[in-house]
Structure 1
Amino acid sequence: MTKVAQRYDNLAAARNFKPGKAKNSTMDIPEIFGENTLTLDKLEERLPKAAWKDLQKTIDEGESLNIDVADAVALAMKDWATEKGATHFTHWFQPLTGSTAEKHDSFITPNQGGGAMAVFSGKDLIQGEPDASSFPSGGLRPTFEARGYTAWDPTSPAFLIENQNGTYLCIPTAFASWKGEALDHKTPLLRSSDALNKAAKAALKLFGIESKKVNSTVGCEQEYFLIDQEFVYRRPDILTSGRTLVGAKPPRGQELDDHYFGSIPERVLSFMLEAEKELYKLGIPVKTRHNEVAPSQYELAPIFEMSNVAADHQQLTMMVLKKVAKKYGLECLLHEKPFDGLNGSGKHLNWSLSTAEGDNLLEPGESPHENMKFLFFFTAVLLGVYRHQDLLRISVAHAGNDHRLGANEAPPAIISSFIGDQLNDIVEQLISGGAKSSKQGGLLGLGSPVLPHLPKHAGDRNRTSPFAFTGNKFEFRALGSNQSPSFPIVVLNTIVAEAIEDMTEDLNKAKKGDSIEKALAKVLSNRLKECKAVIFNGDGYSDEWQDEAKERGLLNLKTTPDALPYLTEKENISLFKKYKVLNKKEMLSRKEIWTEQYITTRTIEVDTIESIAKTMIYPAVVRYIGELSKAVDQTKALGLDHSGSLNMLNKVNDGLNRLNTALEKLAEVQGKLSYKDTSDHARKVETDVLPIMKDIRDAIDFLERYVADDYWPLPVYREMLFIK
């Protein structure tokens, strides 16, 4: 039996990148920062003073925007965009697919003289009407009713997307059905921000502070992998699923710990520099870049921004990373677990509270035990997290993240909060009757007179905590790298708004007969006793924590099918309804959409691995068995010892039989799969289908270790991870 030609050249990837001629690559960040963004400063310069004042009231105080102001803004926006080469505009929105969406319209309108002119009105700015029929609605509307509306969000700046052949204007918008129900991520995010603002401003008044507005602020660390495009095009699993569904563990992975914070490869650094330049032009404040733990894994992180803008910028960041990577012959993989046995990728959501006047409400200061304002809001966050562990877990529940949570690169599915030694000591003091001191970090001596004494924090970090306090913010570490951060922000805003409101009511009652200090001490003591179970400073990976968490009454929702049913619990529906963030129909729709997305994702993966097994692996192995069989026959005919080739033949044949058995079992299970509803369907996929998918993978990975390299039809891990 003849062997087919080798399907790829594993050196082609190394030849793809051709560094250009040396040139001056100096980047003037202040000069380019925000040049493709219509910032408020630029808009103020272009608007009449009266229109600018009215727009400020809309942005800062939520007042309605009248059509005259909208017309003035539209004219300024159009002039700015066309001056920079834009020919089209789009209402840029975030449907419940998790990605972004856009429909482009030209500025050009014919005139009576047979020519054309650029026109853009306030009506065009405020409202768009895309066809909503193919976006998921989860039963919010019948399939034959397709109308949907996009509504301009003036709190997030418009921006330009450049292409080598042109430029277009993107206007961030919300997306709703004809009945006004939210079909997107932005609408509930803006609603939750309003709820949080209202609750926090009322609380601040008790401390004698008047604030114009309180915002949640966010900075999202983004992890990702880069591999050569040559390999992606040779891997059907990466093309359809975003991850490898098969692949044996390479001789070298991340065991040497040499990639983390290592020197960035030249090709990768070139990509990073161009990606950062594009992000700066869009006004995205990228701060750090570095190698992550796994080979070919990297990370970037921005500075904090208002949560709504940060969520928009996160979507843009993912888009820019993927777009720029292709220019360097690379593919940016944002899947949570693209390579089995290696660290996956997350999106750490750093979340805090700040006033419009610049006061971070989660800044403990030098003496946290005396900082009443900080202790109030810090406790409110812990209270919200304890009460609504299920919602936080749901906010990060999707198929990709199920591979990652609980592994050595991600926190467990149990929601708990690390607060450090200093704050833990203060919590214990408050529960016991009052805080009188704060542990101090002091200085860290390094044993050499030439090295400085470093300020030492009052507590260490804990990388196993899903929700850790890290100085002046909380870090929600359970997000998956490929997901929108919007719903996790919605959940945090809403649960903290509720906790703040309840504690404000407590404090109002308590201070009637006491000073604010004594009243607050009572409130903090009671509420910290209530939520103390969610505080955990130990090892989240330990088996002991699993048992202890159960005793504390904490949930352990290990998979997406375990978590999503909790979304529509009565308490959760009541919470979102109370704060006008999501109504019951909108909640039910999201549960349905996210459950269907889980099923669809898994179905694509199962169909893909089955196709790879049948059309690529099976034929390659049969050809190799033919070659081994011939070798056995020839050595036997010559009277030579053929035990080696016979042993290899038996191993490969056994592996093929294992693969065949798993494929037959898959067909049998899929043929008998029955379910009551989408939630039951998702659970059956997770319990009945995925174990067989693993059996198929195990058989293929076994065969990869024995089949001759020149027969194997897929790029292997050692090539994808180390060829740059």
Structure 2
Amino acid sequence: MSTLRFHAIKESLNRKPIKIEEKTRRSELFGLNVFNEDKMRQYLTKEAFNSVMDAMQNGTKIDRVVADHISTGMKEWAISKGATHYTHWFQPLTGSTAEKHDAFFEPIGNGRAIEKFGGGQLVQQEPDASSFPNGGIRNTFEARGYTAWDPTSPAFIYGTTLCIPTVFVSYTGEALDYKTPLLRALQAVDHAAVDVCKYFDKNVKKVNASLGWEQEYFLIDRALVASRPDILLTGRTLLGHSSAKGQQLDDHYFGTIPNRAMQYMRDLETECMLLGIPVKTRHNEVAPNQFELAPVYDEANLAVDHNSLLMDVMDKVAERHDFKVLFHEKPFKGVNGSGKHNNWSLSTDTGVNLLGPGKTPMSNLQFLTFFINTIKAVHDNEELVRASIASASNDHRLGANEAPPAIISVFIGEQLTSVLDELQNVTNGKLSPEEKTDLKLNVVGKIPEILLDNTDRNRTSPFAFTGNKFEFRAVGSKANCANPMTVLNSIVAKQLIDFKAEVDALIDEKELKKDEAIFNVLREYIKKSKNILFEGNGYGEAWEKEAKKRGLSNHKTTPIALRAKVSDKAIKLFEDLGVMNKIETESRYEIEMEEYVLHIQIEGRVLGDVARNHVVPTAVRYQNMLIDNVKGLKEIYGAGFKKLAQQQMNLIEEISGHIEAINSNVTKMTNERKKANNLEDFEKKAEAYCFNVKPIFDEIRYHCDKLELLVDDELWPLTKYRELLFTR
């Protein structure tokens, strides 16, 4: 066994869990480090408080003079909590968060200093934006970028720093982050949904999109990770043979949480409580050393901020417990990968979940309206929905044994399918009194009873209705939720706008009553959207064939899937809603394509290094040991040695074949990378990496994994799957 591997395993096995004692109720910890409404009431003037609340609820701008009052109160609170610095906390298009810390400290002369934090520093800052992805929006030497305070997401303290959630835009005003388009999309769906809600309740003034994410992840001992260059540099194992025992017995799923993992979770949850992240659920996932945590629902923008913050906190807490958190969607071949299920719904300021049935036929008709419109939105934009979760890492997961396929479909269950079938047969035009009664009593009226018993789920569906929400299951575990949430809320907003226009036209032109017009439009939507509904096994080949017949896309790779983001249809959608202009949309496409290339490029370099500098030398060393053994047998037994040494000689030959295949494929991969790198067109480069470079990874891995089974375990340099997944 290599020295590094030996010491890594020894260090891991000798770990003692850090004992975390929970002496304080979670409810007492919750939000202590958040500048929430209670803190604002305490530290702000009445005018400043009302101004912030108005900005949060109605999107009004905050006057700069009032901003000075707000910053003073925020600073006093932060200093009382031990903060020494502040930062504008934002989410650039790198996939992680960003921050630049400034001290409250300000010299005033004569050897004296004060703690200073003004309204200008709260509302806007100018970080260097030259090294953040911009997709050609500006030249590298045009480094200006601006962060602007987002009052809808409360400031918080982490460590000794006051963190202020902000948007990030270029000097010319284009969004350079995930938050800005999301806020615009949420505003669009708010306005569109309120207009539709007026059909049912004139008192509705605001609709919020809610999000509840479920974060899956792996916990691996830090020493074991340090012995694997591929995990360190790419977040996943680029080679490694499956362990004899993996997840076949399903004994890890919902099992007793290992002691070290439990201590980590307790520590993490305490940090989450202080930061106002309402985590509620924790459990073992299917794969060994895989876990999940989930919060209570939040407003979508705040939920996205919480998830981005959570991933940072998870990494930092893991260091204290000598763990490494793996967020990669498929860190281990042959066992389940990790997703981040996005549970989405819409709710009104009157307290109604628009995707939950009510107690009256009219409230149930409202449910059907938003339910069917969401299905229609996904049907009409399934390629864009697929593009919203496309990444190099998620490509490994989609379509695997535990994840939804790359084909976007909607699961609603047999009972709701039968309801839609009945609605499809509604008379075109005016309804007779008998039809109205039948619809309200026997179809719409029975929806609450149907949903009460409809608890079935389809784990193979990428977009499933689960009782009072839609669960977007195809989102990757390390993704920023803002990307899919921007798309989902945008397409639903567009669909609701179209729906209202069609209903109003029927009322005005054909003199139909409101509910008759709604039924007529919904009937047509059901007919047009049927192809997206699927109740069966999404993993089977039969579904691929059926989906093709239905005209549904099956984009299995990111470079192909991402094209939908810059289609004329998508560009017009985002422009019409004011979510993104053409420049912003095209720049994000270029950024994501470039990111794909860089991920595959890094993986190729790491794989070539590990294969040639770790695997091949180890195989040669073992081969030399076998050769010496054969030579020894020949010296002892003379001509009769061949019979005794036949297995060793076969093994020598087999090892040689794998070594030759590894070297030739690494050379081939390197040459293909060079060809791809010479391509100036970023689309052609991404496709070259996808279809010419990446497939060679599997060839190299196959032969490396075969050698792992042949070479003496004592010599093998890389920590094996059985050690990575079962050392706790």
Q: Same fold (TM over 0.5)?
A: yes
Letter in 2 for 1:505: A
The structure with the greater share of residues assigned to helix is 2
1:414 aligned onto 2:407: yes
1:129-188 alpha-carbon deviations (Å, 9 max, x no partner): 0000000100001121000000000000001111xxxx1110000000001100000100
1:245 aligned onto 2:238: yes
Q: Which residue of 2 aligns with 1:25?
A: 22
1:426-470 alpha-carbon deviations (Å, 9 max, x no partner): 111111117433668989xxxxxxxxxxx9623521111111000
Which one of 495, 499, 510 corresponds to residue 499 of structure 1? 495
Matches within 5 A, 1:101-250: 101-162=98-159, 167-250=160-243
Which one of 411, 433, 443 corresponds to residue 437 of structure 1? 443
Distance 1:442 1:374 in 2: 14
Letter in 2 for 1:510: L
1:185-238 alpha-carbon deviations (Å, 9 max, x no partner): 010011111111111111111223322311100010000000111111111101
**Is 528-537 or 626-635 further displaced after alignment?**
528-537
1:38 aligned onto 2:35: yes
Matches within 5 A, 1:639-718: 639=637, 640=641, 641-673=644-676, 675=679, 677-718=681-722
Q: Which residue of 2 aligns with 1:543?
A: 541
Q: Which residue of 1 aligns with 2:429?
A: none
Which one of 609, 612, 616 corresponds to residue 610 of structure 2? 612
1:240-276 alpha-carbon deviations (Å, 9 max, x no partner): 1000001001111000110000000001000001101
Q: 1:423 to 1:365 in 2, by over 3 A?
A: farther
Distance 1:32 1:204 in 2: 37
**Is 369-378 or 3-12 further displaced after alignment?**
3-12
1:267-288 alpha-carbon deviations (Å, 9 max, x no partner): 1000001101100110011110
Q: Which residue of 2 aligns with 1:450?
A: none
Distance 1:532 1:24 in 2: 53
Deviation for aligned residue 1:410:
0.7
SS of residue paired to 1:404: coil
SS of residue paired to 2:710: coil
Q: Which residue of 2 aligns with 1:57?
A: 54
Q: Which residue of 2 aligns with 1:593?
A: 591
Q: 1:519 to 1:399 in 2, by over 3 A?
A: same
Letter in 2 for 1:638: I
Q: 1:7 to 1:494 in 2, by over 3 A?
A: closer
Q: Which residue of 2 aligns with 1:629?
A: 627
Q: 1:581 to 1:77 in 2, by over 3 A?
A: same
Distance 1:715 1:456 in 2: 49
Q: 1:421 to 1:365 in 2, by over 3 A?
A: farther
The answer to whether the 8 Å contact 1:347/1:480 transfers is yes
1:488-535 alpha-carbon deviations (Å, 9 max, x no partner): 110011100011111111111223422222121111101121212111
Number of residue equivalences: 706
Deviation for aligned residue 1:16:
4.3
Distance 2:205 2:338 in 1: 38
Distance 1:202 1:25 in 2: 47
Distance 1:366 1:538 in 2: 31
Deviation for aligned residue 1:670:
3.1
1:587-641 alpha-carbon deviations (Å, 9 max, x no partner): 1100100000000000000000001111111211111111110001101221151
Distance 1:15 1:259 in 2: 19
1:392-413 alpha-carbon deviations (Å, 9 max, x no partner): 1111000000000011111011
Q: 1:336 to 1:427 in 2, by over 3 A?
A: same
Q: Which residue of 2 aligns with 1:324?
A: 317
Q: 1:671 to 1:97 in 2, by over 3 A?
A: closer
Distance 1:366 1:343 in 2: 41
Distance 2:319 2:83 in 1: 23
Distance 1:30 1:654 in 2: 63
Deviation for aligned residue 1:642:
1.4
Deviation for aligned residue 1:365:
3.7
Letter in 1 for 2:443: S
Q: Which residue of 2 aligns with 1:451?
A: none
Letter in 1 for 2:154: P
Distance 2:9 2:142 in 1: 53
The answer to whether the 8 Å contact 1:90/1:103 transfers is yes
Distance 1:103 1:68 in 2: 25
**Is 529-538 or 131-140 further displaced after alignment?**
529-538
SS of residue paired to 2:213: strand
**Is 12-21 or 267-276 further displaced after alignment?**
12-21
Deviation for aligned residue 1:44:
2.1
Gap runs ≥5 in structure 2:
427-434
Q: Which residue of 2 aligns with 1:447?
A: none
Letter in 1 for 2:421: E
Q: Which residue of 1 aligns with 2:356?
A: 363
Letter in 2 for 1:608: V
Letter in 2 for 1:465: S
1:21-63 alpha-carbon deviations (Å, 9 max, x no partner): 7x85334111100011111221122222222222222111111
Matches within 5 A, 1:248-267: 248-267=241-260
The answer to whether the 8 Å contact 2:376/2:529 transfers is yes
1:78 aligned onto 2:75: yes
SS of residue paired to 1:437: helix
SS of residue paired to 1:647: helix
Deviation for aligned residue 1:537:
1.2
Question: Structure 1 length normalisation: TM-score?
Answer: 0.95
1:522 aligned onto 2:520: yes
Letter in 2 for 1:627: M
Letter in 2 for 1:651: E
Q: Which residue of 2 aligns with 1:277?
A: 270
Letter in 2 for 1:150: T
Deviation for aligned residue 1:679:
1.1
Distance 1:658 1:297 in 2: 34
Percent of aligned pairs sharing the same letter: 47
Distance 1:4 1:399 in 2: 32
Q: Which residue of 1 aligns with 2:87?
A: 90
1:305 aligned onto 2:301: no
SS of residue paired to 1:642: helix
Deviation for aligned residue 1:569:
0.7
Q: 1:24 to 1:316 in 2, by over 3 A?
A: closer
Question: Structure 2 length normalisation: TM-score?
Answer: 0.94
1:664-700 alpha-carbon deviations (Å, 9 max, x no partner): 3223333444545111111111111111111111110
Q: 1:440 to 1:430 in 2, by over 3 A?
A: closer
Distance 1:115 1:407 in 2: 63
Distance 1:374 1:511 in 2: 20
Which one of 556, 559, 562 corresponds to residue 558 of structure 1? 556
**Is 713-722 or 433-442 further displaced after alignment?**
433-442
Deviation for aligned residue 1:390:
1.3
The answer to whether the 8 Å contact 1:16/1:329 transfers is no
Distance 1:289 1:26 in 2: 19
Distance 1:6 1:46 in 2: 54
Q: Which residue of 2 aligns with 1:448?
A: none
